[in-house]
Structure 1
Amino acid sequence: MSAATSHYVKLLGREVHYLQWGQPGAPLVILWHGFARNAHDFTELAEALAGDYWLVAPDTIGRGLSQWSPDPVQEYSVPFYAGQAIALVQHLGVDSLRWVGTSMGGLIGMAVAAGPLKDRISHLVLNDVGPEIAPGAVQRILSYAGKPPSFASLTELEAYFRSIYAPFGIVADATWRRMAETSCRRLPDGSLTTHYDPRIATVMAEQAGQAAGDAWPIYDLISAPTLLLRGAVSDLLSPQTAQAMTQRGPRAKLQEIAGIGHAPALDRPDQIALIAEFLR
């Protein structure tokens, strides 16, 4: 098992924190998390793959230990995140990489795999996301992300995460505890709340129409072999969109995860095995 190490780098003028597993110089895998999450979500996957790969998982700005943006309207957006992703790859000094993106991390992966990193991304994994996003799922995410509550104790915060992230399908108590411990911050009164800048939700609400819109022209430009994971009861990626993704663009290979919603946590051996086999 490879323990993560913590690093910081300035990307497009903002300090970004990332976790790293494995040895630099091995084939690089970028792991990019979802909208209101952080790099620690990939712990189980990264530890399983660290013997074969160099794995790097950033905290998107406004989340985790990365800087909060002074210009949220411009910078809490997929185009800016994609620009930072390109800068990160340049910082790491690699010509080829694999990409695993959950939800928002998959949208960023699509953007760079269709454009600036088109010739560098050799494998693309999209975890429960595609060119069309169901508006109802966006509203569900905004319902908890926009005004995160505060809690007197970590135990209460963990119970809250177990509730709002139940669709992830996490079963291990240790994983829920790690999520609580790595996804919180203290408020001035000493109470605990979620780790991210609440303004990410304000910006998302303003951009909701765009986020739920038609990104098929971007998807159609992707040429990298693509694995599409879909939670079988996902409310964000419809079965129709997932099927269409197997028939156009990179013609993704679709794998549905039974009993899981948005989005598979990639923490179970069967889910990890799907990704490991594809990345090889």
Structure 2
Amino acid sequence: MEIRSEFVIVNDRSIHVRVYNPDGEKTAICWHGLARNGFDFETLARELAQDYRVLCPDTLGRGLSQWARDPATEYNYPNYLAIAKGICEHFNVTQMDWIGTSMGGIIGILLASGPFKDKIQRLVINDIGPEIPADALARIIDYVSGEQPGFDTFFEYQDYLKELYGIWGQRSPDQWIRMTETSLRRNNQGQFTVHFDPDIIQKSDETVPVIDLWEPFSQVSCPILLFHGLLSDVLTLKIVKNMKRSQPDMRVITINDCGHAPGLHIPQHYEPILKFLS
């Protein structure tokens, strides 16, 4: 299977997209969470690539994508939607299935209820809802906008990631190494640190995540599969129940031993997605 990296220019910014099975007839787009990157979908993408061309972008300011020159006007959902449209135009995507984790799920909801209403055929939302509890939102903002950590060694940084993302689900030693390799950069002091621009979210402006999506969510007309990490503070049982009232045909997969958000990297996670999309 061919896997390649492409850099797509959208709004004068270079956006990295990892492409699996570039000649596949159907397209699936996998969009990551707020402070992550497209490599989070490596396992799922390889499974999907048996039947799909799979596009896994790094959002502006994350991974290998360019950072914003004006964070206050570029790190927001309208711009992320524009970037998604630009990526689809570049790859000539007219119909797609969308898998979105957290922020990627929000982008999916906004697209599937608006500009891509007739283009997104199936929507997978991973542990996010039309609202985010205040405590969870405050935790996310504090983590992303706080001082970025620095570590002298690779394995010190790996231990830091394990504390943050162990709640995503069990990983083998090799999986942790690969996740660490794709989640770091060197800072100005030569230490390992996180792979995102510290300005991707700011407490005082519109880069703060959307927290009221009930109307757009109700307008989604394609089939929906919702993943819910039972231990999640972002997607609570109350929100899941209200989502089900709004979209009675929505399927829900609950992962009992996960918080925010299931990693979609083990069979228990990705097999329901393969079944849903088929």
State the TM-score, normalized to the length of structure 1: 0.94
Quickly say closer, same or farther: Cα 1:270–1:3, change in 2 above 3 A.
farther
CA distance in 1, matches of 2:206, 2:157: 27
Give, in whole Å, the separation in 1 of the partners of 2:166 and 2:136.
Answer: 14
Compute the RMSD of aligned alpha carbons: 1.6
Relative to 1, partners in 2 of residues 1:209 and 1:64: Cα closer, same or farther, differing over 3 Å? closer
Partner in structure 1 of residue 176 of structure 2? 176
Q: Does 1:218 align with 2:216?
A: yes
The answer to whether the Cα contact below 8 Å between 2:2 and 2:22 also exists between their aligned partners in 1 is no
AA of the residue aligned to 1:184: L
Corresponding residue for 1:54? 53
1:33 aligned partner: 32
What is the one-letter code of the residue matched to 1:75? Answer: E
CA contact (8 A) 2:4 2:20 kept: yes
Distance 2:257 2:95 in 1: 34
* 8 Å Cα contact 1:226/1:253 also seen in 2: yes
Structure-2 separation of matches of 1:200 and 1:161: 19
Task: For 1:134-145, list aligned pairs within 5 A.
Answer: 134-145=133-144
Letter matched to residue 119 of structure 2: R
User: Cα gap change, 1:55/1:61 in structure 2, threshold over 3 Å: closer, same or farther?
Assistant: same
1:190 matches 2:190: yes
Residue 76 of structure 1: CA displacement?
Answer: 0.7
Gaps of 5+ in 2: none
- SS across alignment from 1:126: strand
Of the structure 1 ranges 169-178 and 45-54, higher mean CA displacement relative to structure 2 is found in: 169-178
Following TM superposition, by how much is the alpha carbon of 1:209 offset from its aligned partner in structure 2, in angstroms? 10
- Percent identity over the alignment is 39
Per-residue CA shift, 1:186-207, capped at 9, x if unaligned?
A: 1222111111000113x2x235
- Tell me the residue number matched to 2:130: 131
Supply the AA of the counterpart residue of 1:111: L
Aligned equivalents of 1:250, 1:42: Cα separation in 2: 28
Q: CA deviation at 1:102?
A: 0.1
1:129 deviates by 0.5
Instruction: Confirm or deny: 8 A CA contact 1:226 1:250 kept in the other structure.
Output: no
Matches of 1:115 and 1:208, distance apart in 2: 20
Deviations 1:159-205 (A, max 9, x none): 0000011221232222221121111111222111111000113x2x2
CA distance in 1, matches of 2:221, 2:214: 13
Which residue identity lines up with residue 172 of structure 2 in the other structure?
A
Q: Deviations over 1:35-61 (max 9, x none)?
A: 000011000101112111100000000
| 1:150–1:13 Cα change, 3 Å | same
Count of matched residue positions in the alignment of Structure 1 and Structure 2: 277
1:119 has 2:118 as partner: yes
Give TM-score scaled by structure 2 length. Answer: 0.95
Q: CA deviation at 1:251?
A: 3.9
Moved more, 15-24 or 120-129: 15-24
* Conserved? CA contact 1:14–1:67, under 8 Å: yes
